[in-house]
């Protein structure tokens, strides 16, 4: 594990893969008590209104046309956590060797991203999952060469709850990513 963890390029590949394609793209949490969830910086919505905290819809009138929202969260409120969106925020860097301050504020349990979430109910197996990915990639790329077997535009994605690649037009939507695999030959 120490040897795998010491390989910076392998680490960057695994981080970038889990950042751009987190298997769990979003999740929810339920508030255990009334609370206020402040935003890091104020947000201006599409109507020009400025928000300082996460707002909650408390009532919908006239068939979804009017929403009454409040600047607090009440006990039992369901809070949507957009893992995929936060991982891909354009304000965050894509380089892993020189992270600026903005990204260190992401409260994820690993890698300054939310792919394994954060807090007491984060993924309990993230270390195992990472080292498993690294061991597999390390072993496979030394023995084989991989090429896409179909054009990139034929590969689609099944969204929530578990994201995975699918073949566009395949009605079963089963996970698949066709590859051509050849034995690796060293080119000197």
**Which residue ranges make up the annotated binding site for heme?**
123
Q: Least distance to ligand HEM from the beta carbon of 29, Å? A: 8
> What Å distances lie between residue 116 and 3, 136, 150, CA to CA?
23, 19, 30
Chain centroid to Cα 6, Å, comes to 24
Among the listed residues 51, 75, 121, 168, the single contact to ligand HEM using CB under 6 A = 121
Chain centroid to Cα 93, Å, comes to 14
- Give the Cα separation of 98 and 90 in Å (integer): 16
> What Å distances lie between residue 145 and 16, 122, 139, 179, CA to CA?
20, 35, 12, 10
Cβ proximity to ligand HEM: between 100 and 165 the closer is: 165
Q: Is residue 157 close enough to count as binding ligand HEM by CB under 6 A?
A: no
Q: Is residue 78 close enough to count as binding ligand HEM by CB under 6 A?
A: no
Q: 186 φ, ψ to 5°?
A: -65, 130
Among the listed residues 49, 125, 135, 160, the single contact to ligand HEM using CB under 6 A = 125
Q: Is residue 179 close enough to count as binding ligand HEM by CB under 6 A?
A: no
Q: Interface with ligand HEM by CB under 6 A: which range of 54-62, 94-102, 124-132, 163-171?
A: 124-132
Q: Is residue 31 close enough to count as binding ligand HEM by CB under 6 A?
A: no
HSE (side-chain half, CA atoms, 13 Å) at 135: 8
Q: Interface with ligand HEM by CB under 6 A: which range of 20-28, 141-149, 151-159, 164-172?
A: 20-28
Peptide linkage before 161 cis (omega within 30 of 0) = yes
Q: Least distance to ligand HEM from the beta carbon of 44, Å? A: 29
Site residues (vs ligand HEM, CB under 6 A): 22-24, 27, 115-117, 121, 123-125, 128-129
């Amino acid at each position: 594990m120490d040897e795998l963890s010491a390989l910076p390029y392998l680490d960057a590949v695994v981080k970038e893969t889990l950042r751009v394609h987190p298997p769990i793209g979003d999740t929810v949490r339920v508030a255990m008590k009334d609370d206020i969830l402040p935003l890091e910086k104020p947000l201006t919505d599409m109507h020009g209104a400025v928000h300082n905290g996460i707002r909650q819809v408390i009532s919908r009138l006239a068939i979804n046309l009017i929403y009454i929202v409040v600047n607090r969260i009440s006990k039992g409120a369901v809070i949507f956590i957009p893992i995929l969106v936060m991982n891909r925020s354009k304000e965050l860097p894509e380089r892993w060797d020189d992270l600026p301050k903005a990204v260190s504020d992401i409260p994820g349990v690993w890698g300054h991203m939310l792919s394994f979430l954060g807090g007491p109910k984060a993924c309990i197996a993230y270390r195992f999952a990472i080292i498993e990915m690294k061991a597999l990639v390390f072993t496979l790329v030394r023995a084989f060469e991989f090429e896409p077997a179909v054009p990139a535009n034929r590969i689609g994605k099944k969204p929530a709850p578990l994201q995975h690649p699918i073949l566009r037009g395949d009605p079963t939507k089963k996970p698949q990513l066709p590859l051509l695999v050849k034995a690796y030959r060293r080119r000197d």
